[in-house]
Structures are given as structure tokens and as C-alpha cells.
Structure 1
Amino acid sequence: MADGGTTGALLYAVSAAVLGMLQFGYNTGVINAPRSFIQNFIKEQYTASPSLIFSVIVSIFAVGGMIGCPLASWLVEKLGRKKALMINAIIGVAGAILMGFSKAASSVEMLIIGRFVIGINCGFATTASPTYVSEVAPLRLRGAFGTVNQLAVAFGMVGAQILGIDVILGSDEGWSWLLGIAIIPSAVQCVMLPFAPESPRFLLLAVHDEQQARIALTKIRGTTEINDEINDMHVEDHAAKQEQKFSILDLFRIDSLRKPLVIGVVMHLSQQFGGINAVLYYSGTIFVYAGLEEKDARLTTIGVGSVLFVMALVSIPLIDRLGRRTLQLCGLAGMTVFSVLMTVAFFTYENNTTMSIFAVIFTFLYVAFFGVGPSSIPWMILSELFGQGARSAAVSVGALVNWFANFVVGLTFIPMSEGLGNYVFLPYTALLILFFIFTYFKLPETKNKTIEEVTALFK
């Protein structure tokens, strides 16, 4: 289809890129089901607390993510989008091999290093994949193609949870294969990416090779009528060069930049400190708390990823219809209510099968409200609060804060659950209330507003 529609070349390019986001979803969800088997594996090697070492295995993923994000920002500009994605695919293969062979090598260290390396791969993907996808997609379909990243994350998570059930790979013999399967998305990327086009925008504006940019754009659009799009890129680039560039330090120093930065950072903190990754990493453990048998708990975790996948589809039309602020407030309020109800259910499940079922339902609804707004809005809000000159620095700070908060939740949930027992979700509830109040008073609505109108609010 010509002129701004979908073509085979476009779908191929987007598919090759979003495999990195599928990898991110897979490795977020995969660690949940095999916890007991991995802890048995740790006990064979160490006398130290297996639950503490397991917390390190879970959270080291986010440390890798903190390194992967800035690495991606640098490499996509230095080498181009396509080469950067290729390098990242190789990193993914290395991480998967380390995890997959850790049991055969009787090495907990290999497992930890593998989780760290795959974390670098996933952090890199969360920066590089959306950049590439937004640059190859036609303007009128950019929003729709942007949501493909979120769908790929949810799809990867569901896949990990299905493969983690007992009859497939959720076993003492199968858990290392479960982790090692992460090689597939990266290996497929290694095969697909050489045949994908480079971003025409990168070729035109960074490499200054208009001929190659035209060849790439013609291939992606399936038409030679690309002059308007090439001219638009030139105009956009010229406008960007006129704008003052701001560093990360400037964001903290200049008052009109510091205010939106604080709002964006709090949005990212609300995504993680609302407790969602406690559920994504440890929902099997949470369902055992709620009175389910371990086998049933592993099966029930599939519902968590499935709810996120459905909500990713539902929230696509709602973001532009209802607005960012409304959905964020709605999501935080729902998460607050259901985190309280989860706590009540944990207390009353004993000798009461009905309350065990309600505990699972409340957990699913908590995840559903996360999918309404807090899942995607923190990632888009910073790019809407800042002009071109400060946007890149602001998005980098947001991503770093998000991965750091992810690390904190991953590391602290097991010690918190051992210390607080059934009260484990109440700290997240308290933080959700604070995030709701902050969002209500501080977050402006960016729907249907130009960047100039939004930035004027902070001056």
C-alpha cells in the first residue's frame, strides 16, 4: 500500500525490532514460576540464605537494565539503529547461553551473570526498539505501531508463564531450559536484522546520505512518492537545530525544566513502587500466600500476563480518548483499592477456599488497573512534557529511575514478605496513595496540547 500505509517491508522491520521488547517481557515473567527449583539449586551450592541469593538473581536483571539504557542511547546515535539492535541481539544470545547452561555447570554465578547480561539486553531494547519503530513507521500510524512494543512485552510475559507450568518446563529438570529459551528471540533477531532497512531518518540526518535514505524509505513505504516525507524530516531537523540543547544537569538546574522532570520521575516511581514488579516477579509466591497449592499457583500466574496483554489492547484507544491524567489517576486509584483487598484476602483465606479465589481475583484486578494507565503513561509522559532540546535528557533520566526502582522492588520483596507476612502489600498501598495525591495536584493533561502549550505551563 502506498503513501503512509503498511507494507511487507515495514511489518518485517517492526517485527525484527520488537523481538527485543518480547525478550524484555519474557525475562520479566520467566523468573516467577521456577523459584522453588532455583532455590533448591542454590542450596546445593551455598549454605547462605537461598531466598536472599534468589532476590539477587531477580534484581540483578534491573542493574543490567540500568546499564543497557544509556548504552543504547549512545550506540543508536554512534552506529545507527540497525547495527545497535544487531549488537544487542548478540548480547541477548550470550545472556541466554549463560542462564541455560548454569545448571549443567553447577554454577549459581553463571546464572547471576546471565541474568545481568540479559538485563543489559532488555534495558537496551526498551530504548533502541521504540526509537527504530517510531522512525520507520509512517506519521499517521506512529502511535499504533508504538503500542506494538507494549503488546510484545505482554506477549513475552504470557509466553514465559505458560512455559513455566509444571507439565512443560516448570520442573527441577526444566527450569534452566526455561531460562535458556531466551536465546530464541535474540537468535531470530540476528537472522532478521541484516535484511531490515536502516532508519531513513538516521541515514538522512546523522549520516547525511540522502540517496541511501531515499532507497530505505522507498523500500519501507512501497512507493517512490517520498519527497514530502524527506522534506518534513529536513524541516524537523532544522527546527531542532534552532532549539537550545539541554544537558541532564540543566534539567536539575533550570526551574522550568526541573518541575516537569520531577513530575516525570514521580510517574516512573509510581509505576515501580506501586508494587507491580513484586507481582510480576513473585506472583507464584503471592498465590501460595493466598492458600493455593504451589502447582496451582504456578498455573495461575499465566493469568497475570494475560490480564496485562488484554489491558494493553484495551488502553490503546483510551489514551487519546480519555487523556493521560485521567487514566493515570484511575489506574493508581484501582491499584490502591485492590492492594488493600488483597491484604484482607491474605488474612482470611485460612480454611476458606472462597477467599483464596478472591485473593487471586483481586491480584488480577490490581494488575488490570496497572494496565489502564501506570503501565504505559510514565514512558510517554516525559516526551510530552519537554521540548525537543531537553527531551532526550529527560527520557534518559526517567528510564534510569525506572530501572533503579525496579531493582529496589526485586531485591526487597522477599525480605519484606518474610518480615511483614500478610501485611507485605501495605507499604505499596501507602505509596500508591501518595502517588495519587501528587498526580492529582501536579500532573497536567497533555492530551490534544502542543509541546509549546505544555512547556508554557512550567514557565
Structure 2
Amino acid sequence: MNNNQINLNYIGFLSVVAAIGGFLFGYDTAVISGTIAQVTTQYGLDNVSQGWYVGCALVGSILGVTCGGYLGDRFGRRKMLFISAVLFSVSAVYCMLSSDFQQLIYARIIGGIGIGVVSIISPMYISELAVPQYRGRLVSLYQLAVTIGFLGAYIVNYLLMQYAIGDAQNLQGEWLRLIFYQEVWRGMLGISGLPAVFFFLIIFFIPESPRWLVMHGRSAKAQDIFRRIYGSDSAARTELNKIQDASSAEKKVDWKLLAQPGVRKAVWIGAAIALLGQFMGVNAVLYYGPTIFESSGISGGDSLFYQVIVGLVNVLTTVLAVFIIDKIGRKKLVYLGVSGMIAFLLLIGIYFFWGKVLGLPSLFMLSCFLAYVFCCAISISAVIWVLLSEMYPNSIRGLAMSIAGLSLWLGTYLVGQLTPWLLDNLSPGGTFFLFAAMCVPYMLIVWKLVPETTGRSLEDIERHWIH
């Protein structure tokens, strides 16, 4: 196929629109880090209640990911993107206007359902319309959007806090003073409603996934989309024939395919790496970064600023990953990145245990933190959603991704709930040593059980598992 005929501008536009869901995912996930101290003080939360405040959105994510893939297989990827946009919008307004802690929990759960749905549907949608030679970097746009959402949340948290300390006291109007001065966490949580509404509106300008259309017997419409992607009728027909040959033009989800040994193995592998990846420290950094920084002796205001730096490194590293993932390959990135994660997690643990004895400055800990974020962003964070979006057969891709995504969000929920307990009982140093140990089985699974998918079509990968 002539690469010059491929309409990269159109594919890029569709991918960026779907990736906006990743931005909302990232913002909604990371914004919590700047509100924990305020909400804890206002409502008098203990460690368990604090963990529930952080983890309740993850309960919603588990609900969303459990049904999102199946509903995406049945009703279409585009409709599910619409639903996630509505959930994000409702959650943002509800968080901002909640009258008590219980309502705040309900609002966070609604947003969590949106996170769960979009975490499955957005990368799957991009994967199904991308051409093989660019699929890695296009799906990585989703992860890039997630990291931009993280950074956006950290910046908003920092700026709103500075505004609340300074000029916000001069605001007129009861609600404005409440949201941006007296209880600034409301503004932090509520501001995501603006990109959520934009996401809802722009989805009207993208088509349904062509592979989903083929699976539901709408081949003519799918061919029209492929024609716009590949630039010619002959190339569109060739791609359509490949999909039909691989799937026998199934018109509904084939649940029996999950019982095939190769497919079952792929689902178990995906679930294992999704679960283990959450116990390697990344979510502790996202949710409890300011708390961890403060425990190292950094003041509260500086800790929020350093969290912005963490977010910036995350974004810039993910930009690099977008450009190299299709050149270096998924597995090599994991080997390089996870090796670095182990090294810097151990150094962070050493700092907390023996930093004062060795005379290590807080700058040492911050440098190790940033190096760890770099290694994580260029490897497991960039690779996981790419792998999950391309590992499974077309007819059960949504269902299989829901199973893997459920494992991921269960792991995320457990980390969110357990991190305050781990920091108290294992100490920060022991917690980071534990995260380093969890990197080892992840690396072994990728090495021994995961095939290299770089440059292969989705149908070729499907044949690998089935045959």
C-alpha cells in the first residue's frame, strides 16, 4: 500500500477527538491530589475515609469498564464516547455544587464511570481506524492526552490555590467566593466540565469505527470510511476484505471465542499486566504526590508546584514515546523503562530510610522522582493501552478489553485505598521498595508471554492468538 495515499490528517483528527476522552480521564484522575488535604480538613476524614474519597471514583471506573466494552461491542464506539462525555459533564457540575461529603462521593462515582468507559472505548476506537505502521503512535496519542490531563489538573490546582490565597478574597457573589475562595477544591473539581462539554460537541464530527460497522453488517458504510482513510477504492476494498476474511463477517459478539485456548491466554496476559502495572508506584505518585513530597520535608505550597513539574515531565516523555514506539517496539520500551523504574524506586526508598544519615538533600529525592516518572511514561504508561487495544479479535475486542480494564481499575482502586496505610505502616521508604519488587513479575510476563505487535495488522495479531 502506498503510504503517500494514506490520509494521515483525517486519521489524526479522528484520533485526537477520541483522545480528548483521555484528557478528561487524566484530569479527573489527577485533580484529586490537590484536593485531598482540603476535603480531609473540611469533613474531618480519617485514613479510611480519605482512602474512600480517593477510591470512590475508582469504584465508578470499575463499573464503567465492566460494562463499557460490552456496550461498545453492541451499540458502537461512538455512542459510548457520547455517554462518557455526558457522565464527565454531570460529575463536574455535581462535584462543584455538592452540599455534603456523601454527595461529593456520588459525584465522583459518576465521573469514575465516565473514566472507565472512555479508558476502554477511546484507545479501541483509535486502534480500529489506524493503519498498522502508525497504530502505535496514534493510540499513544490517547496516553499523551491522559498525561496532558494530569498536567492540566496539577496546573489548575496550583493556580487556583494561589488565586485563593491572593485575589479571590475580593470576589463578589456567594457562589463565586465559595468555589474559588472558601472551598477552592470545588473549583478544582468543577472546571473539567468545560472540556467535557467540548468533547460532547466534537464527537458529532467523527464516524463510527469502521471495524465495528463491518462486524454489524454495515460494510458499505465501513468502506466509505476506509476510502477516506486509504485514499482509493481499491485500498479500501482490500482492507475491508482482510477484516471480513478474519472475522467471517460476524454480526454479533462471539462469546465462545473467549473459550479458545489462545484467546483465553491473551485475555489472561492482558489482565495480568494491567493489574501488575498499578502496583509499580505510578498511581501513588498521581494521587499522593503532594503528600509524599510533604513527608520528605517539602512545604505544602512547594509540593503542589513540584507536582506540576512531575506532570510536565510526564507529558514531555509521552511525546517522545509517541514518536519512538513504532520504531523501537513495544517490548523493548518496556525492558528499558521498567529497568529504570526499579533503579529509581530503590533510590527513593533509600532516601526515605537513610537520606538524613547520608546527608541527601530533598533535590535528590525530587530528581529520582522525575527520573522514575520519565521511565514510567516512556514504557508501561505508553505501551499498556496500545497493547490492550490491539491484542484481541475484532468480534470480542470490547469484551476482552473490559476484562483487562477491570483488572487495571481493580488494581488502581486497591492502590488508592492502600497507599495511605502503606505510607503509615511500611513508611514511605518501605512502600517504594515494595513498588520496585512489583516491577519484576511485570517484566517477566512481557518478556516470556507477550508477542511483539509493532507493525502488524490487527488481523495478523488475531491469527497469532487463535492459530
TM over 0.5: yes
- 1:347 CA displacement: 2.9
Paired position in structure 2 for 1:46: none
Give the distance between the partners of 1:442 and 1:271, measured in 2 at CA.
16
Answer yes or no: is 1:98 the counterpart of 2:94.
yes
2:303 maps to which of 297, 300, 307? 297
Paired position in structure 1 for 2:178: none
Give yes or no for contact 1:291–1:350 (8 Å, CA) kept in 2. no
- 1:418 CA displacement: 1.5
Matched letter for residue 162 of structure 2: V
Q: Kindly tell me: are residues 331 and 266 of structure 1, through their superposed partners in 2, closer, same or farther at Cα, counting changes over 3 Å? A: farther
* Of 59-68 and 17-26, the range deviating more from structure 2: 59-68
Matched letter for residue 7 of structure 2: G
Matched letter for residue 59 of structure 2: V
SS at match of 2:154: helix
Matched letter for residue 5 of structure 1: N
Q: Kindly tell me: are residues 143 and 229 of structure 1, through their superposed partners in 2, closer, same or farther at Cα, counting changes over 3 Å? A: farther
Cα deviation, 1:193-218, whole Å, max 9, x if unaligned, reads 224334444445526272x5566566
Paired position in structure 1 for 2:42: 41
1:170-189 alignment runs, 5 A limit: 173-189=183-199
Is there any run of 5+ residues in structure 2 with no aligned partner, and where? 166-180
RMSD (CA atoms): 3.3
1:53 maps to which of 49, 54, 68? 49
Give the distance between the partners of 2:201 and 2:461, measured in 1 at CA.
44
Give yes or no for contact 1:289–1:346 (8 Å, CA) kept in 2. no
- 1:383 CA displacement: 5.3
Q: Identity of counterpart residues, as a percentage?
A: 26
- 1:375 CA displacement: 1.0
Cα deviation, 1:27-82, whole Å, max 9, x if unaligned, reads 12111122211111222xxxxx4332221121122221122124332333333333
1:401 maps to which of 380, 401, 407? 407
Give yes or no for contact 1:5–1:138 (8 Å, CA) kept in 2. no
Identify which of structures 1 and 2 has the higher relative contact order when contacts are C-alpha pairs closer than 8 Å and 6+ apart: 2
Paired position in structure 2 for 1:167: 162
1:435 maps to which of 424, 442, 451? 442
Give the distance between the partners of 1:278 and 1:50, measured in 2 at CA.
18
Cα deviation, 1:335-366, whole Å, max 9, x if unaligned, reads 11111111111234559985211111111111
Paired position in structure 1 for 2:348: 342
Cα deviation, 1:408-450, whole Å, max 9, x if unaligned, reads 0011101111112232222222222343344444445444667
Matched letter for residue 178 of structure 1: M
Cα deviation, 1:115-134, whole Å, max 9, x if unaligned, reads 11111111111122223333
SS at match of 2:317: helix
Give the distance between the partners of 1:26 and 1:256, measured in 2 at CA.
36
Give the distance between the partners of 1:273 and 1:143, measured in 2 at CA.
24
1:71-86 alignment runs, 5 A limit: 71-86=67-82
Paired position in structure 2 for 1:236: 243
Count, aligned residues? 446
Is there any run of 5+ residues in structure 1 with no aligned partner, and where? 44-48
* Of 258-267 and 153-162, the range deviating more from structure 2: 258-267
Give yes or no for contact 1:248–1:397 (8 Å, CA) kept in 2. no
Give yes or no for contact 1:387–1:452 (8 Å, CA) kept in 2. no
Q: TM-score by structure 2 length?
A: 0.84
Q: Kindly tell me: are residues 314 and 256 of structure 1, through their superposed partners in 2, closer, same or farther at Cα, counting changes over 3 Å? A: same
Give yes or no for contact 1:163–1:169 (8 Å, CA) kept in 2. no
Paired position in structure 1 for 2:111: 118
Q: Kindly tell me: are residues 310 and 109 of structure 1, through their superposed partners in 2, closer, same or farther at Cα, counting changes over 3 Å? A: same
Give the distance between the partners of 1:387 and 1:205, measured in 2 at CA.
11
Q: Kindly tell me: are residues 389 and 74 of structure 1, through their superposed partners in 2, closer, same or farther at Cα, counting changes over 3 Å? A: closer
SS at match of 1:189: helix
Paired position in structure 2 for 1:63: 59
Give the distance between the partners of 1:188 and 1:391, measured in 2 at CA.
28
Q: TM-score by structure 1 length?
A: 0.85
- 1:306 CA displacement: 1.4
Q: Kindly tell me: are residues 331 and 247 of structure 1, through their superposed partners in 2, closer, same or farther at Cα, counting changes over 3 Å? A: farther
Answer yes or no: is 1:5 the counterpart of 2:7.
yes
* Of 308-317 and 86-95, the range deviating more from structure 2: 308-317
- 1:456 CA displacement: 5.9
Answer yes or no: is 1:192 the counterpart of 2:197.
no
